[in-house]
Amino acid sequence: MSKSLTIAKFGGTSVANYAAMQNCARIVVNNTATRIVVVSAAAGVTNHLVSLAHTPMTQEQIGEVCNAIVAIEMAIVDSLAEPAAVLPKLNDLLDEMRELAYHEEILHRDDLKDQLLSMGERMSSLLFSAVIAEQGQPAINFDVRKVLRTDSEFGEAVPQLEEISALSQRLLQPEIEHAIVVTQGFVGADEQGKTTTLGRGGSDFTAALLAEALHAEVCEIWTDVAGVYTTDPRIAEKAHPLPELSFEEAAEMATFGAKVLHPATMEPALRKNVKVFVGSSKAPEQGGTWIMRDCEHEPPYRAITRRKDQVMVTVKTPKMMYAQGFLQQVFGIIAKHRLSVDLVTTSEISVSFTLDNPANSVAQRLNKETIAELETICDVNVEHGFDLVTVVGNHMQTAKGVSSKIFAAVSQYNLRMICFGANPHNLSFLVNESDSADIVQHLHKALFE
């Protein structure tokens, strides 16, 4: 059975409403290998939950946000052929959501925040299992917290691979023999059974982790675009979908801002050589992108990505000339707060590096703590307003003329930092956020049009 297992993951826009869910259900039942379905929350729901968990609000405002979520979920239930079969369970979940939203400590307790954030996936998986059942297939809604064991780092929990594999084989595998199992992306539980989440966009990661645990052959990521594009088509209109990508290229693209995949998704796929497919649930006939170990072609330029909300931190000490342990101290503090640094430049008395800083994120909180601690050992200067633009490809440090073509395309812009050569798959620039869309357009024209 597991040899031909396919796991299908559907993103928020794919399960945004009843009609969208029906498209997805057809994709699932048309492929008999698909026995596990991982869903995101319906589009918009997680954003509402994040605002409830992070923004101080009046009781009235809390009520309004809750009502917006209720409206999304109720519209789906009302479209079901037999709403009564699902309604009591949905009402229980909505009650749990309201209780958390109004909880006195919601803004201060990370465990409560995660429990609240999990509600979107728990509701969409319930509803989607009903939509599959309507297509005449036995389907169950499986609580992923039984198998998706994580540590207790709420908001950005780290999956515990051995436990996930053992638990999935024991508790999930038997279920897929008799039903299509619909479960929640993004959500996990720690050893005490407390609900955790894997970080925004984490549902792809869940699908890949379950694919790894059950040795699936294929992990399908269904979204609202027909594959991974050369760049975001909203920035460069001539962007086009890529038929194939290697695991390494896809990992670089996701890490450096391509929104279609969560950055950690490729790790499990790579470890167990699970092929990943990205396609549009609205137009499955258009095909999509296959991500795998060996590609037919390894072009020097494959894609351009942009990651927004970057800050540049410069730490400076006149002592650096003599103090050899300074870099180690700086990176020790960064590591302690579990931040990952992407670009680094050094000069004799200073080091600059970039950090991801999206609003209301765990990263934002960690950045503040990190910077405060750095200030105890050196001068720190923090600059905002940057984006990171990355060209992803192959053999970039060894192929002739690769960098000159890229630099020619961006010559008229002010580049604040450049990173090249650390691996063969990327060349990155830190640029002013007001320039980044133009830079992506210029690069796309030069490299792909």
The smaller minimum CB distance to ligand ASP, of residues 185 and 284, is found at 185
Q: With CB under 6 A as the contact rule, which of the stretches 198-206, 243-251, 345-353, 388-396 interacts with ligand ASP?
A: 198-206
DSSP-assigned letter for residue 40: P
> In the complex, what is the shortest distance from the CB of residue 144 to ligand ASP, in angstroms, rounded to a whole number?
12
Site residues for Mg ion, 289-318, by CB under 5 A, read none
Beta strands in 99-200 (DSSP E): 139-142, 180-184, 187-189, 195-197
Say which entry of Mg ion, ligand ASP, none residue 41 contacts (CB below 5 to 8 A, set by partner kind).
ligand ASP
224 appears as a binding residue in the annotation? yes
Q: Are 37 and 10 in contact (CB under 8 A)?
A: yes
Amino acid at 200: R
Tokens (6 digits) for 411: 């010559």
Site residues for Mg ion, 196-235, by CB under 5 A, read 201
12 lies in the binding site for ligand ASP (CB under 6 A) = yes
124's enclosing H/E stretch is: helix 119-134
Say which entry of ligand ASP, Mg ion, none residue 279 contacts (CB below 5 to 8 A, set by partner kind).
none
What counts of helices (H) and strands (E) characterise the chain?
15, 16
Among 155, 159, 188, 202, binds ligand ASP (CB under 6 A): 202
Sign of CA dihedral 37, 41, 43, 47: negative
Other CB atoms within a 10 A radius of the CB of residue 195 amount to 22
248 appears as a binding residue in the annotation? no
d(CA 156, CA 262) in angstroms, rounded, equals: 13
Angle (CA) 123-129-132 rounded to 5° is: 140
Closest by CA to 448, choosing from 308, 299, 253, is 299
Q: Find where tokens 């990521």 sit.
A: 221
Q: With CB under 6 A as the contact rule, which of the stretches 39-47, 85-93, 95-103, 274-282 interacts with ligand ASP?
A: 39-47
Say which entry of ligand ASP, Mg ion, none residue 186 contacts (CB below 5 to 8 A, set by partner kind).
ligand ASP
Q: Are 300 and 399 in contact (CB under 8 A)?
A: yes
Amino acid at 11: G
Closest by CA to 74, choosing from 45, 49, 100, 38, is 45
Give the CA-trace dihedral at 426, 242, 254, 221, to 10 degrees: -160
159 lies in the binding site for Mg ion (CB under 5 A) = no
Tokens (6 digits) for 143: 């609580």
The smaller minimum CB distance to ligand ASP, of residues 198 and 427, is found at 198
Q: With CB under 5 A as the contact rule, which of the stretches 7-15, 78-86, 113-121, 435-443 interacts with Mg ion?
A: 7-15
Among 145, 200, 416, 442, binds ligand ASP (CB under 6 A): 200
10 appears as a binding residue in the annotation? yes
Number of residues in contact with ligand ASP, rule: CB under 6 A?
Answer: 12
Site residues for ligand ASP, 72-131, by CB under 6 A, read 120
195 lies in the binding site for ligand ASP (CB under 6 A) = no
354 lies in the binding site for ligand ASP (CB under 6 A) = no
> In the complex, what is the shortest distance from the CB of residue 69 to Mg ion, in angstroms, rounded to a whole number?
18
The smaller minimum CB distance to Mg ion, of residues 186 and 429, is found at 186
Cα Rg of the chain, angstroms: 23
Among 5, 6, 7, 11, binds Mg ion (CB under 5 A): 11
Residues lying near Mg ion in the complex (CB under 5 A) are found at 11, 201
Q: Residues annotated as binding site for substrate?
A: 46, 121
For ligand ASP, the binding residues (CB under 6 A) are 11-12, 40-41, 46, 120, 185-186, 200-203
